[in-house]
Structure 1
């Protein structure tokens, strides 16, 4: 079996093991298993990592242009709202699924799992 790129598998929402089956069963819900190779995804725990990255990206994507527009033109505040809210919503919805898929694929690729301490070292 050829090595599947976790970057390509994550961004396209494909199984990180075979690259064929779907990773998601809904918009953001990770499927219980791959429909092509049967890889079990039930132990996948992405948490809020994708949301944090998307918040940073969308925040920078809205704030930096807003500051540049404000310095150059000094528009009224409603212009910033009219520009900022759609940009943040669009970037958040557009980026959340690929970023979640990317984090899941890299978690699978690096065999990340919950930390386990030896007995007596809690």
Structure 2
């Protein structure tokens, strides 16, 4: 019999489940109890999530993704439409804030899924 610590975990499946804010182990239980607060353990399979250490990586990824996607769009809008500065700043700020808030929880779930699949940190036990 192979010990559980040697059984490989499907990394992409775990990340996908995390992006859906579901338990990376079973895909059934909710991963978050509050907006960015992971549950202590999965209600469906009992997987312990107190070991997760996502920290600053999810916001970094959200900033990286939004910056690379929205910067060319902002340049194209400025070149093609020349909106007033106040309207452009207001609209762009609102779009960035809304998209960042919408992306943050799924990205954190994906990072937790990656940590779980790779047995990073305390998930190795």
Query: Which ranges of structure 1 fall in alignment gaps of 5 or more residues?
Result: 115-122
CA distance in 1, matches of 2:18, 2:52: 13
Residues 59, 88 of structure 1: 8 Å contact kept? no
Paired position in structure 1 for 2:58: 50
Q: Is residue 120 of structure 2 the alignment partner of residue 101 of structure 1?
A: no
Match of 2:75 among 51, 67, 72: 67
Gaps of 5+ in 2: 1-8
User: What is the DSSP-based 3-state SS (H/G/I as helix, E as strand, rest coil) of the residue aligned with 1:92?
Assistant: helix
Structure with higher helix content: 2
Alpha-carbon contact 1:62-1:87 (below 8 Å) kept: no
2:17 to 9, 22, 28: 9
Choose between structure 1 and 2 for higher RCO, CA contacts under 8 A separated by at least 6 residues: 2
Deviations 1:79-100 (A, max 9, x none): 2113201110111011001100
Cα RMSD of the aligned pairs, angstroms, is 1.7
Q: Distance in 2 between matches of 1:66 and 1:19?
A: 37
Comparing 35-44 with 3-12, greater Cα deviation is found at 3-12
The list of structure 1 runs, each at least 4 consecutive aligned residues, that deviate by more than 4 angstroms after superposition, is: none
